[in-house]
């Protein structure tokens, strides 16, 4: 009996000694405000930690700023949504490999009475009408993936923002998607938003979706391990474990299961 007790005590001590080491494993992920403010990370990360024992600290910024964090080596992984910028990040040696993870779409949100007559499926035409009507427009202005998408639409609409913005209420706030939606709600303005954050947004006021379904509004997310050859302190093993889990059937299933009022906020598409 004494021998059994000693064996049980030793086993318990071994478990207790190992537990802090397991809990101490952690990575830093530089990601977009949309993955944070949509509530996805609150749904996703506890399940990853439960499966692997690796904790995740998120730095939520616009995509451009998140990639800058990766370039400095201040994150182990970047999880963002501007494919051209992501591919440049890898091409320039700051990232190892880009993996597609999921997508949703952008939508143009604006006042329910739509004073600019922007409603429809053509996002470039909607932007032209908003500018012509001099209707208030909120821009994130933060080098995010959403901001980059907005600037692409203005170019496709044939409008030079530098030439026209002084003639109407075009306000760059330099903040994330949640604050941009709050600003639009407070001023009854138009704004380009990702669908995930819009679905999670509670302070809608008199705003509604006016433009959706244009193929140009497709919004792909990718994940990249920061290159340990450039930054040797990067936790490559743990970071790659996060990526592998995200693109695995388990991680993809968790992404697919995140819904608000039955509507999915993101569609998993790893490997496609």
What is the torsional sign of CA 149, 155, 161, 164? negative
| Other Cβ atoms within 10 Å of 241 Cβ, number | 18
Question: Residue 235 corresponds to which tokens in the numbers above?
Answer: 């936790």
Check for a shared fold between 2-103+220-268 and 105-217. yes
What is 105-217's CATH superfamily?
Periplasmic binding protein-like II (3.40.190.10)
CA atoms within 13 A on the CB side of 236: 10
pLDDT at 17 over 80: no
Average pLDDT taken over every residue of the chain: 90
Query: What dotted CATH number matches 2-103+220-268?
Result: 3.40.190.10
Question: Residue 170 corresponds to which tokens in the numbers above?
Answer: 């075009």
Map out the domains of the chain as residue ranges. Answer: 2-103+220-268, 105-217
pTM as predicted: 0.84
- C-alpha triplet 141, 121, 127: angle, nearest 5°: 35
| 72-124 tens-digit pLDDT | 999 999 999 999 999 999 999 999 999 999 999 999 999 999 999 999 999 99
pLDDT (mean) for 197-209: 93
| 39-69 tens-digit pLDDT | 999 999 999 999 999 999 999 999 999 999 9
How far apart (Å, rounded) are the C-alpha atoms in residues 186 and 242?
Answer: 38
pLDDT at 267 over 90: yes
| 141-167 tens-digit pLDDT | 999 999 999 999 999 999 988 777 777
């Amino acid at each position: 009996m004494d021998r059994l007790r000693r064996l049980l005590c030793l086993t318990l001590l071994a478990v207790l000694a190992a537990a802090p080491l397991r809990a101490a494993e952690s990575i830093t992920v530089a990601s977009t405000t949309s993955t944070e403010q949509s509530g996805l990370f609150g749904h996703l990360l506890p399940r990853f930690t439960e499966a692997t024992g690796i904790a995740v600290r998120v730095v939520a910024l616009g995509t451009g700023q998140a990639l800058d964090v990766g370039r400095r080596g201040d994150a182990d992984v970047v999880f963002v949504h501007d494919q051209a910028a992501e591919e440049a990040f890898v091409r320039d040696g700051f990232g190892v490999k880009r993996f597609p993870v999921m997508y949703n779409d952008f939508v143009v949100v604006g006042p329910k009475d739509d004073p600019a007559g922007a409603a429809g499926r053509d996002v470039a035409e909607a932007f032209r009408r908003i500018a012509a009507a001099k209707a208030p427009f909120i821009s994130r202005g933060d080098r995010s993936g959403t901001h980059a998408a907005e600037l692409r639409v203005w170019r496709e609409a044939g409008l030079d923002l530098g030439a026209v913005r002084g003639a109407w209420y075009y306000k760059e706030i330099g903040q994330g998607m949640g604050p941009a939606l709050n600003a639009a709600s407070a001023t009854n303005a138009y704004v380009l938003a990702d669908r995930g954050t819009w679905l999670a947004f509670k302070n809608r006021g008199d705003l509604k979706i006016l433009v959706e379904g244009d193929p140009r509004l497709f919004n792909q997310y990718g994940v990249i391990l920061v290159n340990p050859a450039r930054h040797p302190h990067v936790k490559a093993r743990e970071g790659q474990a996060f990526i592998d889990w995200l693109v695995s059937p388990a991680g993809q299933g968790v992404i697919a299961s995140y819904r608000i009022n039955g509507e999915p906020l993101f569609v998993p598409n790893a490997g496609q």
